Structure 1
């Protein structure tokens, strides 16, 4: 196989000039660069080895995105897609690629696998997106000593210096619950995706609720309690994951009883669980919003097209990805967090969007 020096000899230039054709094209005229690349193709030279180039420049040209789901989730979940759209759009402007590192909590070996993947990843820094407290992958990322930005969770401890991008989940949840309380709802139930990374589903007791390992769920549950009548603690049903089918199964259990005992409203911690609650209501012939009000969280694109259109809490998913990626790229470029570069914490707003799935309870 031809080498870089073979190309240099054939063109009659130095090996540095050939390297510049690939890595610093602005240093060459367009005609010279095209002659070098054409000669390389004719000789069968594939271009510089990316690992060797990375060693020379001390840059991998990619950032790692670590998240708590299967890899397919990144391409199918609307919230994840929008977040990654923001990350990718910002990274493209800097000519940086993405390395996705999944760690689905249902897999017993996922944490160990993610830790190993983080240790081996050829990246310049990491985005840790929506992970449980003390997740092994985040521990491994911090041990690498590369720039790290946490998005949503795990919430960094005060003063630990890890930049953090998050949504005001507690205030958004408070708005959702205050809306239902203002309509007169008193029998309210909550659908949560996961309280801990163990795949459990079903009603959550006090001990389970006191040991939540996902910061976003903790804040949203706290926000609901902030706005519901004093002393009332809504039943929380854990769905075991974030999908419409899991939300449907959980809601079927909540709605199976007689009308005077079942909830008049459901607060779903995500729009996908809310979608499942609407499906369960249709299946059981429970009118929405006449007999049951439903509120989601995220305001995904399907929310406005749901039947009926879903009342939900909007969070800026694309913007969140953009802010996190920009923060990480600034850190990679050498800007210190909170010192003229990337700020240490960025809080994004959440906003209630009232549509057609909420109304006063039936009398």
Structure 2
């Protein structure tokens, strides 16, 4: 009996994946038309674009290769946002979140992506900056000695700094922190306060919590805090308050818990203060929690002020400086993504507004 080889089912021949060229040939249009359907849909009629996309789905065309496109155009199609914190900070801090929203709105308009690049305090590893596939950077509130910031500038890509530091030849978006802080001091002075304490955000990259002398205030690598403390000092000194008698406490972390610890440290240095100034709303709200724990009333026993104007603080009617954090993000995005961008070292200074709330009143008699 003759034997026959065992016949196996032959695998079906698979159609090669469609390419931009084969898709264009299939539907009788140019390759530019297919490319525009993905990258510049406003250049096509809705009917033509729908025809291209339907054919692409039918033939299994996945769309233009982003790697090939970036090699061809030398554009990554993304903006890098450099943060001095872990990535989660951008979604926990209210002011940072508002800034992020504003920047994202401009990226959406320009049809580019956004890459978050963390620069943790104390870390000197700049590989994330060096390897980031982006067309430019926005640096959000950096100390002047941060190696990540200098790594950004060394890449010679377009860059915009938000808040700090102000560097010659680099675009900056921010506010007049010193003038805004001085308004807080003048507000408290007009109410009659002369015995005050201050809780401020970190002044340097190394972890440190506790009292701050004048030298550290004036040499702070975080310029925003340096300017806010200088504005407070100018306002109180003008009213005859000796600044070297004012307890100033630095907190490395920016959280409600840090605000509470800072308030406790100030009160340990001077239990008789009648006003407590925090250089952010988050620290101010934490300080209020510590005062409530001590059964000290706000503002009857201690007035409290903040800075930023975040929604939670405004809901509490905290006396604070309101700054346009969302607009900061939008302005930073516009400067970076400006297609006609030629100038360098531009400055955008946005307005602020002192907003008195229910947390300040004349000192107790």
Q: TM-score scaled by structure 1?
A: 0.89
Partner SS, residue 90 of structure 1: helix
Q: Which residue of 2 aligns with 1:185?
A: 193
Partner SS, residue 241 of structure 1: coil
Query: In 2, Cα distance between the equivalents of 1:211 and 1:130?
Result: 16
Is the contact between residue 255 and residue 281 of structure 1 (CA under 8 Å) also seen in structure 2? no
**What is the number of equivalent residue pairs in this alignment?**
345
Partner SS, residue 154 of structure 1: coil
Q: Is residue 256 of structure 2 the alignment partner of residue 244 of structure 1?
A: yes
Unaligned segments of structure 2, at least 5 residues: 1-16
How far does residue 42 in structure 1 lie from its aligned partner after superposition?
A: 2.1
Change (3 A) 1:188 1:328: same
Query: In 2, Cα distance between the equivalents of 1:82 and 1:146?
Result: 25
2:118 counterpart (102, 120, 124):
102
Which residues in structure 2 correspond to 1:181-330 (within 5 Å)?
Answer: 181-229=189-237, 230=240, 231-233=242-244, 234-256=246-268, 261-306=271-316, 309-330=317-338
Query: In 1, Cα distance between the equivalents of 2:192 and 2:40?
Result: 66
How far does residue 197 in structure 1 lie from its aligned partner after superposition?
A: 1.1
Is the contact between residue 296 and residue 310 of structure 1 (CA under 8 Å) also seen in structure 2? yes
Q: Is residue 51 of structure 2 the alignment partner of residue 41 of structure 1?
A: no
How far does residue 134 in structure 1 lie from its aligned partner after superposition?
A: 2.8
How far does residue 99 in structure 1 lie from its aligned partner after superposition?
A: 1.1
Unaligned segments of structure 1, at least 5 residues: none
Which digits, 9 at most, give the CA deviation of each residue in 1:288-315, with x for residues without a partner? 1111011100111111222xx2111111
Of the two, which has the highest radius of gyration? 2
Which digits, 9 at most, give the CA deviation of each residue in 1:142-170, with x for residues without a partner? 111111111101121xxx31111111100
Query: In 1, Cα distance between the equivalents of 2:58 and 2:163?
Result: 50
Q: Which residue of 1 aligns with 2:7?
A: none
Change (3 A) 1:337 1:9: same
Q: Which moved more, 1:19-28 or 1:294-303?
A: 19-28
2:354 counterpart (352, 356, 360):
352
Q: Which residue of 1 aligns with 2:340?
A: 334
Which digits, 9 at most, give the CA deviation of each residue in 1:257-280, with x for residues without a partner? 7xx843211110000000011000
Query: In 1, Cα distance between the equivalents of 2:309 and 2:214?
Result: 29
Change (3 A) 1:232 1:36: closer
Partner SS, residue 304 of structure 2: strand
Is the contact between residue 311 and residue 358 of structure 1 (CA under 8 Å) also seen in structure 2? yes
Which digits, 9 at most, give the CA deviation of each residue in 1:48-103, with x for residues without a partner? 11121122223322211112121111112110111112111222222222111122
2:147 counterpart (111, 116, 136):
136
Which digits, 9 at most, give the CA deviation of each residue in 1:20-43, with x for residues without a partner? 332233444444433332222222
Q: Which residue of 1 aligns with 2:5?
A: none
